[in-house]
Protein backbone atom coordinates (compact mmCIF):
# COMPACT_ATOMS: atom_id res chain seq x y z
CA UNK A 1 0.00 0.00 0.00
CA UNK A 2 1.28 3.55 -0.72
CA UNK A 3 2.34 5.53 2.30
CA UNK A 4 -0.13 8.12 3.46
CA UNK A 5 0.37 11.59 4.77
CA UNK A 6 3.08 12.65 2.34
CA UNK A 7 3.46 16.39 1.84
CA UNK A 8 2.11 16.44 -1.71
CA UNK A 9 -1.20 15.08 -0.42
CA UNK A 10 -1.81 18.25 1.63
CA UNK A 11 -4.45 20.62 0.26
CA UNK A 12 -3.12 23.37 2.52
CA UNK A 13 0.31 23.14 0.89
CA UNK A 14 -1.04 23.52 -2.63
CA UNK A 15 -3.46 26.29 -1.71
CA UNK A 16 -0.61 28.32 -0.21
CA UNK A 17 2.20 27.46 -2.60
CA UNK A 18 0.21 26.93 -5.80
CA UNK A 19 0.02 30.64 -6.70
CA UNK A 20 3.83 30.78 -6.40
CA UNK A 21 4.45 27.74 -8.60
CA UNK A 22 1.70 28.34 -11.15
CA UNK A 23 2.38 31.99 -11.88
CA UNK A 24 1.36 34.00 -14.95
CA UNK A 25 4.36 32.79 -16.93
CA UNK A 26 3.40 29.14 -16.35
CA UNK A 27 -0.18 29.78 -17.42
CA UNK A 28 0.99 31.69 -20.51
CA UNK A 29 3.14 28.79 -21.72
CA UNK A 30 0.35 26.20 -21.36
CA UNK A 31 -1.04 26.67 -24.88
CA UNK A 32 2.36 26.09 -26.49
CA UNK A 33 3.02 23.01 -24.36
CA UNK A 34 -0.37 21.54 -25.28
CA UNK A 35 0.29 22.15 -28.98
CA UNK A 36 3.69 20.47 -28.62
CA UNK A 37 2.09 17.45 -26.96
CA UNK A 38 -0.44 17.25 -29.81
CA UNK A 39 2.40 17.26 -32.35
CA UNK A 40 4.85 14.97 -30.54
CA UNK A 41 2.21 12.30 -29.92
CA UNK A 42 0.81 12.66 -33.49
CA UNK A 43 -2.70 13.09 -32.09
CA UNK A 44 -5.91 13.75 -33.98
CA UNK A 45 -9.10 15.40 -32.78
CA UNK A 46 -11.08 13.06 -30.59
CA UNK A 47 -8.00 11.22 -29.32
CA UNK A 48 -8.04 10.37 -25.61
CA UNK A 49 -5.39 11.88 -23.34
CA UNK A 50 -4.59 11.33 -19.66
CA UNK A 51 -3.14 14.34 -17.83
CA UNK A 52 -1.55 12.56 -14.88
CA UNK A 53 -1.15 15.12 -12.12
CA UNK A 54 -3.23 17.79 -13.83
CA UNK A 55 -3.11 20.34 -10.99
CA UNK A 56 -5.32 23.35 -11.69
CA UNK A 57 -5.82 22.26 -15.29
CA UNK A 58 -3.34 24.44 -17.17
CA UNK A 59 -2.54 21.80 -19.76
CA UNK A 60 -5.77 19.81 -19.54
CA UNK A 61 -7.89 22.76 -20.62
CA UNK A 62 -5.61 23.62 -23.54
CA UNK A 63 -5.55 19.99 -24.71
CA UNK A 64 -9.33 19.88 -24.56
CA UNK A 65 -9.54 23.08 -26.60
CA UNK A 66 -7.51 21.30 -29.31
CA UNK A 67 -10.38 18.84 -29.67
CA UNK A 68 -9.00 16.05 -27.51
CA UNK A 69 -10.91 13.89 -25.03
CA UNK A 70 -9.07 14.71 -21.80
CA UNK A 71 -9.05 13.04 -18.40
CA UNK A 72 -7.29 15.00 -15.66
CA UNK A 73 -6.27 13.14 -12.51
CA UNK A 74 -5.04 14.77 -9.31
CA UNK A 75 -5.22 14.24 -5.54
CA UNK A 76 -6.06 17.84 -4.64
CA UNK A 77 -9.77 18.62 -4.80
CA UNK A 78 -9.44 22.46 -4.87
CA UNK A 79 -7.21 22.11 -7.94
CA UNK A 80 -9.75 19.87 -9.63
CA UNK A 81 -12.44 22.43 -8.78
CA UNK A 82 -10.29 25.17 -10.31
CA UNK A 83 -9.71 23.08 -13.44
CA UNK A 84 -13.45 22.47 -13.79
CA UNK A 85 -14.15 26.19 -13.45
CA UNK A 86 -11.52 27.07 -16.07
CA UNK A 87 -12.94 24.47 -18.45
CA UNK A 88 -16.43 25.95 -18.01
CA UNK A 89 -15.07 29.45 -18.66
CA UNK A 90 -13.46 28.21 -21.87
CA UNK A 91 -16.62 26.29 -22.82
CA UNK A 92 -14.81 22.99 -23.06
CA UNK A 93 -15.28 19.69 -21.27
CA UNK A 94 -12.81 17.63 -19.23
CA UNK A 95 -13.26 14.52 -17.15
CA UNK A 96 -11.70 15.28 -13.77
CA UNK A 97 -10.95 12.53 -11.26
CA UNK A 98 -9.64 12.73 -7.71
CA UNK A 99 -7.26 9.79 -7.43
CA UNK A 100 -3.77 8.72 -6.44
CA UNK A 101 -1.56 8.05 -9.47
CA UNK A 102 0.13 5.27 -7.52
CA UNK A 103 -3.14 3.32 -7.82
CA UNK A 104 -5.08 4.93 -10.70
CA UNK A 105 -5.19 2.79 -13.84
CA UNK A 106 -7.57 2.35 -16.78
CA UNK A 107 -6.14 -0.44 -18.92
CA UNK A 108 -5.64 0.48 -22.59
CA UNK A 109 -7.87 3.54 -22.36
CA UNK A 110 -5.72 6.40 -23.68
CA UNK A 111 -3.96 7.34 -26.91
CA UNK A 112 -1.51 9.50 -24.96
CA UNK A 113 -0.60 10.42 -21.40
CA UNK A 114 1.40 13.29 -19.97
CA UNK A 115 3.07 14.05 -16.65
CA UNK A 116 4.42 17.59 -16.89
CA UNK A 117 6.06 20.47 -15.03
CA UNK A 118 8.41 18.56 -12.75
CA UNK A 119 5.68 16.66 -10.90
CA UNK A 120 7.65 13.40 -10.84
CA UNK A 121 10.09 12.10 -8.25
CA UNK A 122 8.44 13.11 -4.97
CA UNK A 123 7.24 9.76 -3.62
CA UNK A 124 8.83 8.19 -0.57
CA UNK A 125 10.46 5.43 -2.62
CA UNK A 126 11.62 4.78 -6.16
CA UNK A 127 9.17 1.90 -6.30
CA UNK A 128 6.27 4.32 -5.79
CA UNK A 129 7.65 6.72 -8.41
CA UNK A 130 7.87 3.93 -10.93
CA UNK A 131 4.48 2.49 -9.98
CA UNK A 132 3.00 5.72 -11.35
CA UNK A 133 4.74 5.10 -14.67
CA UNK A 134 3.67 1.45 -14.69
CA UNK A 135 0.04 2.50 -14.24
CA UNK A 136 0.38 5.00 -17.08
CA UNK A 137 1.90 2.31 -19.30
CA UNK A 138 -1.03 -0.02 -18.56
CA UNK A 139 -3.49 2.81 -19.21
CA UNK A 140 -2.14 3.48 -22.70
CA UNK A 141 -3.48 1.81 -25.79
CA UNK A 142 -0.93 -0.18 -27.83
CA UNK A 143 1.13 2.40 -29.70
CA UNK A 144 0.13 5.14 -27.24
CA UNK A 145 2.60 7.87 -26.30
CA UNK A 146 3.75 8.94 -22.83
CA UNK A 147 5.38 12.36 -22.43
CA UNK A 148 7.20 13.01 -19.17
CA UNK A 149 8.78 16.36 -18.30
CA UNK A 150 10.82 16.62 -15.13
CA UNK A 151 14.02 17.89 -13.58
CA UNK A 152 16.73 15.38 -14.41
CA UNK A 153 20.01 14.98 -12.57
CA UNK A 154 21.79 16.67 -15.49
CA UNK A 155 19.52 19.73 -15.62
CA UNK A 156 19.55 20.01 -11.82
CA UNK A 157 23.34 20.21 -11.91
CA UNK A 158 23.37 22.68 -14.79
CA UNK A 159 20.89 25.10 -13.23
CA UNK A 160 21.83 24.60 -9.59
CA UNK A 161 21.77 27.62 -7.33
CA UNK A 162 22.06 27.84 -3.55
CA UNK A 163 18.88 29.89 -3.42
CA UNK A 164 17.20 33.16 -4.37
CA UNK A 165 14.46 35.53 -3.35
CA UNK A 166 11.73 37.25 -5.33
CA UNK A 167 8.29 38.81 -5.06
CA UNK A 168 5.32 36.85 -6.41
CA UNK A 169 1.57 36.62 -5.78
CA UNK A 170 1.77 39.33 -3.12
CA UNK A 171 4.43 37.50 -1.11
CA UNK A 172 8.18 37.60 -0.62
CA UNK A 173 9.58 34.20 -1.53
CA UNK A 174 12.92 32.91 -0.26
CA UNK A 175 14.34 29.62 -1.50
CA UNK A 176 17.22 27.51 -0.28
CA UNK A 177 18.51 24.46 -2.16
CA UNK A 178 20.96 21.69 -1.27
CA UNK A 179 22.06 18.39 -2.77
CA UNK A 180 21.00 15.09 -1.22
CA UNK A 181 23.57 12.31 -1.36
CA UNK A 182 25.60 11.98 -4.56
CA UNK A 183 23.11 14.06 -6.53
CA UNK A 184 20.43 11.51 -5.72
CA UNK A 185 18.00 14.25 -4.79
CA UNK A 186 17.51 17.99 -4.47
CA UNK A 187 16.27 19.42 -1.18
CA UNK A 188 14.18 22.58 -1.57
CA UNK A 189 13.22 24.90 1.27
CA UNK A 190 10.62 27.54 0.45
CA UNK A 191 9.76 30.40 2.78
CA UNK A 192 6.78 32.67 2.09
CA UNK A 193 6.32 36.00 3.86
CA UNK A 194 3.10 37.92 3.32
CA UNK A 195 2.59 41.69 3.55
CA UNK A 196 1.76 41.39 7.27
CA UNK A 197 5.00 39.58 7.98
CA UNK A 198 3.38 36.18 8.46
CA UNK A 199 5.90 33.49 7.61
CA UNK A 200 5.27 30.03 6.15
CA UNK A 201 7.97 27.45 5.49
CA UNK A 202 8.07 24.12 3.69
CA UNK A 203 10.86 21.70 2.80
CA UNK A 204 10.76 18.76 0.43
CA UNK A 205 13.09 16.53 -1.58
CA UNK A 206 12.77 15.63 -5.25
CA UNK A 207 14.45 12.40 -6.28
CA UNK A 208 16.75 12.93 -9.26
CA UNK A 209 17.05 10.48 -12.12
CA UNK A 210 19.52 10.81 -14.95
CA UNK A 211 17.84 10.96 -18.35
CA UNK A 212 19.46 7.72 -19.64
CA UNK A 213 18.60 5.94 -16.38
CA UNK A 214 14.95 6.92 -16.62
CA UNK A 215 14.79 6.09 -20.33
CA UNK A 216 16.25 2.63 -19.71
CA UNK A 217 13.86 1.96 -16.84
CA UNK A 218 10.90 2.74 -19.10
CA UNK A 219 12.22 0.41 -21.77
CA UNK A 220 12.66 -2.40 -19.24
CA UNK A 221 9.16 -1.68 -17.97
CA UNK A 222 7.70 -2.47 -21.39
CA UNK A 223 7.71 0.67 -23.55
CA UNK A 224 8.81 -0.20 -27.08
CA UNK A 225 10.93 2.92 -27.50
CA UNK A 226 11.88 6.03 -25.57
CA UNK A 227 13.64 9.21 -26.67
CA UNK A 228 15.08 12.09 -24.69
CA UNK A 229 14.78 15.76 -25.67
CA UNK A 230 15.92 19.04 -24.20
CA UNK A 231 12.56 20.77 -24.66
CA UNK A 232 9.11 20.50 -26.19
CA UNK A 233 10.42 21.51 -29.61
CA UNK A 234 12.42 18.28 -29.52
CA UNK A 235 15.74 20.05 -29.08
CA UNK A 236 18.80 17.85 -28.47
CA UNK A 237 19.32 16.79 -24.86
CA UNK A 238 22.78 18.27 -24.57
CA UNK A 239 24.63 20.97 -22.64
CA UNK A 240 22.01 23.52 -23.76
CA UNK A 241 18.98 21.52 -22.61
CA UNK A 242 16.45 23.66 -20.73
CA UNK A 243 14.54 20.71 -19.32
CA UNK A 244 14.19 16.97 -19.85
CA UNK A 245 11.30 15.74 -22.00
CA UNK A 246 11.10 11.97 -22.28
CA UNK A 247 8.85 10.60 -25.04
CA UNK A 248 8.01 6.89 -24.76
CA UNK A 249 5.79 4.73 -26.96
CA UNK A 250 3.99 1.63 -25.74
For residue 205, list its beta bridge partners. Answer: 187
Q: How do residues 204-233 score in pLDDT, each as one tens digit?
A: 999 999 999 999 999 999 999 999 999 999
Q: pTM for this one?
A: 0.91
Distance CA 60, CA 53 (A): 10
Distance CA 137, CA 134 (A): 5
Closest CA to 227 of 130, 157, 152, 146: 146
Closest CA to 70 of 23, 249, 90: 90
Mean pLDDT, residues 49-73: 96
What pLDDT is recorded for position 184?
Answer: 97
* DSSP-derived pairing of the beta strands 199-207 and 185-193: antiparallel
* DSSP-derived pairing of the beta strands 110-115 and 48-52: parallel
Task: Reply yes or no on whether the pLDDT at 1 is more than 50.
Answer: no
Task: Reply yes or no on whether the pLDDT at 67 is more than 50.
Answer: yes
SS3 44: coil
CA angle 215, 206, 230 (to 5 degrees): 40
Q: How do residues 107-164 score in pLDDT, each as one tens digit?
A: 999 999 999 988 899 999 999 999 999 999 999 999 999 999 999 999 999 999 999 9
Q: What is the DSSP letter of 196?
A: T
Distance CA 244, CA 148 (A): 8
What pLDDT is recorded for position 9?
Answer: 66
CA angle 10, 12, 17 (to 5 degrees): 100
Q: Across all residues in the chain, what is the average pLDDT?
A: 92
Amino acid sequence: MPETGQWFESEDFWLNYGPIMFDEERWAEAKGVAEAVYSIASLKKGASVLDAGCGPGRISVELSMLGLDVTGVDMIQPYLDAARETALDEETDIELIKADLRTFCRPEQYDAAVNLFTSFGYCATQEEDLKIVENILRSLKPGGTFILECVSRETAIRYYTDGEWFERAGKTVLTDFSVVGAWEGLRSRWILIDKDGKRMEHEFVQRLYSAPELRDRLLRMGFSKAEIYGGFERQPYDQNARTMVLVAVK
